[in-house]
Amino acid sequence: MRDKILDGKGLAKDIREKIKAEVNNIKIAKGIVPGLAVVLVGQDPASVSYVSMKERACLEGGFYSEVHRLDEDTSQGEILSLIDELNNNDKIHGILVQLPLPGNIDEKIVNERIEPKKDVDGFNPINLGKLFLKTPGFIPCTPKGIIRLLKHYDISIEGKNAVVVGRSDIVGKPTATLLLHENATVTLCHSRTKNLSSYTKEADILVSAIGKPNFITSSMVKKGAIIIDAGTSKVGNKLVGDVDFQGVIEKVDKITPVPGGVGPMTIAMLLENTLEAVLIK
């Protein structure tokens, strides 16, 4: 079974060690400490936990880290003012606003306000447009991490049937775009897709990013498929993915576990993007 696992945790650790060495080099050569500011609004438990992990990863990597924890009832104007300050703060090279934001805040307006050169999440429309056009810019961390993991394991993408389940702006849409840029034949499925399993069963590479535990079962996957489980849900206090791991493991060629697959890659890519933000400055 172990040879079927795409070990995101292990790869992320290696990437973070290399980034740490580069951060140290930049400190010595240029006197710059790469800085990331994270904005968290409210107390959504998953977001609180993700932000803590991002903060810890920054500190372990030698980055300067600022976390702005704001009340649930913070106004959109206050968030935009904070972003303006961070855009103009030379200590900060990357800015990330943890999503989802409370319902009264327009996420699109917030992401538009982040200076594109500091937009390490890649959610500003300038960077999303660049992604669409395949010109250099910041690439959203989870999709970037998924492609990096596939490449690390020499999994060929060109000409493969890649099926992405979930059309979020954060994961589904950018992942489908990146797979297309790698010359896969891409199908993007979503909650209104009819007869979903007729698509998933044809997938050489199946990416699921919907956040529904055990949604992808053995009868929905092709024998020998590569499965990327980008879903995260809490069942009790256990983190689980979208895929019935035990049910599909015999059938598939490779699979990312949850935890230990896509999640750690997201954090490694965030650090990589923040380092990139210093280099493009």
Would you tell me which residues interact with ligand GUN (CB under 6 A)? Answer: 96-99, 121, 141-142, 170, 266
The residue (of 22 and 119) whose beta carbon lies closer to ligand GUN is 119
CA 275 to chain centre: 16
The residue (of 23 and 96) whose beta carbon lies closer to ligand GUN is 96
276 vs 281: CA distance, rounded Å? 9
Catalytic residue among 117, 118, 119, 121: 121
3-state secondary structure at position 64: strand
208, 248 in Cβ contact below 8 A? Answer: no
**Nearest residue to ligand GUN on Cβ basis:** 99
Nearest distance from C-beta of residue 140 to ligand GUN, angstroms: 7
CA 56 to chain centre: 17
The residue (of 66 and 202) whose beta carbon lies closer to ligand GUN is 66
Kindly state the tokens that stand for 119.
């937009």
246 is an active site residue: no
Rg over alpha carbons for the chain, rounded to the nearest Å, is 19
125 vs 133: CA distance, rounded Å? 12
Cβ count within 10 A of residue 96 = 24
54 is an active site residue: yes
The residue (of 65 and 142) whose beta carbon lies closer to ligand GUN is 142
Q: Give the residues across from 80 on adjacent strands.
A: none
43 is an active site residue: no
Nearest distance from C-beta of residue 96 to ligand GUN, angstroms: 5
Rounded to the nearest 5°, which phi and psi values hold at 208?
Answer: -115, 130
The residue (of 146 and 157) whose beta carbon lies closer to ligand GUN is 146
Nearest distance from C-beta of residue 108 to ligand GUN, angstroms: 13
CB-neighbour burial class of residue 259 (10 A; exposed 0-12, middle 13-18, buried 19+): middle
Nearest distance from C-beta of residue 228 to ligand GUN, angstroms: 15
The residue (of 225 and 262) whose beta carbon lies closer to ligand GUN is 262
CA distances to 53, 130, 268 from 234, rounded to whole Å, are: 16, 34, 22
Nearest distance from C-beta of residue 99 to ligand GUN, angstroms: 4
Nearest distance from C-beta of residue 254 to ligand GUN, angstroms: 23
Q: Give the residues across from 216 on adjacent strands.
A: 243
Q: Report CA torsion sign: 103, 106, 108, 114.
A: negative
Catalytic residues: 54, 98, 121
